[in-house]
């Protein structure tokens, strides 16, 4: 996938079929938009293209209400590549850019610069100055300029609209199973492994302490997870919390124990995906009580991974 930082840097070799938006999380609704763009681009011989914004527009216009993002920009780009997008244009969102009229954006950039043959918007998406750019404006301009425009319907799960904000809410509640269904994959984070107090090693369960790049972290507790190490998704158990057995007011930490694996990960970037919540984090009366609970957590994780459908999913997680 070719990535261009800014419209002026984009090298447009042939016409495009495109969409635009932030697409944080690349959940099932976003995936439907990408499938539509990719399929239509193939049908008309165009380049499937995404215009996205960084930082999030709300972080610039209303920073006090800006949401923490589910993905870093690099994670979002990787996801777009996986979904078949061949060209992504990252527009640096500024207050000056926010003043561009939606119609000017469509005429000067989408039509003239990007040679759009077809443009698709997610349901309810708005762009341009004062959020004046909507599907009605897009359809009017497309008729005048001779390209096709349409709105991709929203995706629902159990009657609920799938959205990035809903997924953030589920993760803060520890409901990683439902978040996974809305994302179409387990929610994942990545971070660099740093040195900790090495208490896990003393307990017989050495953990990788992650300094996370992601801002959205599931609710404190213990989870069955998958950790990507040396290109392989490996079985793991992850604790999110403040280690109350050892510290009264400990700093939040994420520690992952990888089953049946040993090695030095210090300095490496490790990905962790959350599969199932085991329990809340809690304070134990003694270190030995904690150790017994960790043994029980690992056994529960092993039973989880023993399910045939989990073993199959782990190969592609």
What DSSP element (H or E) covers 140?
helix 135-145
Q: What is the pLDDT of residue 243?
A: 80
Could you list the mean pLDDT of each consecutive 10-residue stretch along the chain, which spans 317 residues?
92 94 96 98 98 94 92 96 97 95 96 97 92 94 97 93 96 96 96 80 82 94 95 94 77 89 87 96 88 94 85 62
Query: Alpha-carbon distance 71 to 267, whole Å?
Result: 21
For 203, the enclosing helix (H) or strand (E) is helix 199-203
> Can you give the pLDDT at residue 285?
83
| pTM assigned to the model | 0.92
- Cβ–Cβ < 8 Å for 88, 4: yes
pLDDT of 47: 97
- Helix H or strand E segment including 122: strand 116-122
Distance CA 270, CA 279 (A): 23
The DSSP bridge pattern shows strands 221-229 and 269-279 to be antiparallel
pLDDT at position 311 is: 67
What DSSP character marks residue 46?
-
Q: What is the pLDDT of residue 315?
A: 60
Q: How many angstroms separate the CA atoms of 72 and 78, rounded?
A: 10
Domains, the chain, ordered by start? 2-154 (3.40.50.620), 186-314 (2.40.30.30)
The pLDDT of residue 5 = 93
Longest CA–CA span in the chain (Å) reads 74
pLDDT of residue 313: 62
Q: What is the pLDDT of residue 81?
A: 97
Give the pLDDT of residue 286.
Answer: 87
């Amino acid at each position: 996938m070719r990535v261009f930082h800014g419209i002026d840097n984009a090298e447009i070799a042939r016409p495009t079929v495109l969409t635009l938006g932030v697409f944080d999380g690349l959940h099932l609704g976003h995936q439907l938009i990408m499938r539509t763009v990719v399929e239509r681009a193939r049908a008309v011989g165009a380049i499937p293209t995404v215009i996205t914004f960084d930082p999030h527009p709300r972080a610039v216009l209303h920073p006090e209400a800006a949401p923490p993002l589910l993905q870093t920009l690099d994670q979002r780009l990787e996801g777009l590549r996986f979904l078949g997008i061949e060209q992504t244009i990252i527009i640096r969102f500024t207050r000056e850019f926010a003043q561009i009229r939606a119609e000017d954006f469509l005429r000067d950039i989408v039509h003239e610069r990007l040679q759009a043959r077809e443009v698709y918007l997610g349901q309810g998406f708005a762009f341009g100055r004062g959020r004046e750019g909507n599907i009605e404006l897009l359809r009017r301009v497309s008729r005048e300029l001779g390209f096709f425009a349409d709105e991709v319907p929203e995706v629902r799960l159990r009657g609920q609209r799938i959205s990035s904000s809903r997924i953030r809410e589920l993760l803060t509640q520890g409901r990683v199973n439902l978040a996974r269904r809305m994302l179409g994959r387990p929610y994942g984070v990545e971070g660099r492994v740093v040195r900790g107090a090495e208490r896990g090693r003393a307990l017989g369960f050495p953990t990788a302490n992650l300094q996370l790049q992601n801002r959205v972290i599931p609710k404190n507790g213990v989870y069955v997870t998958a950790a990507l190490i040396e290109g392989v998704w490996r079985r793991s158990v992850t604790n999110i919390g403040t280690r109350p057995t050892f510290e009264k007011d400990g700093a939040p930490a994420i520690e992952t124990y990888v089953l049946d694996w040993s090695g030095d990960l210090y300095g490496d970037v490790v990905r962790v995906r959350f599969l199932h919540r085991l329990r809340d984090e809690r304070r134990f009366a003694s270190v030995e009580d904690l150790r017994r609970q960790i043994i029980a957590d690992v056994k529960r994780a092993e039973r989880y991974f023993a399910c045939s459908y989990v073993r199959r999913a782990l190969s592609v997680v």
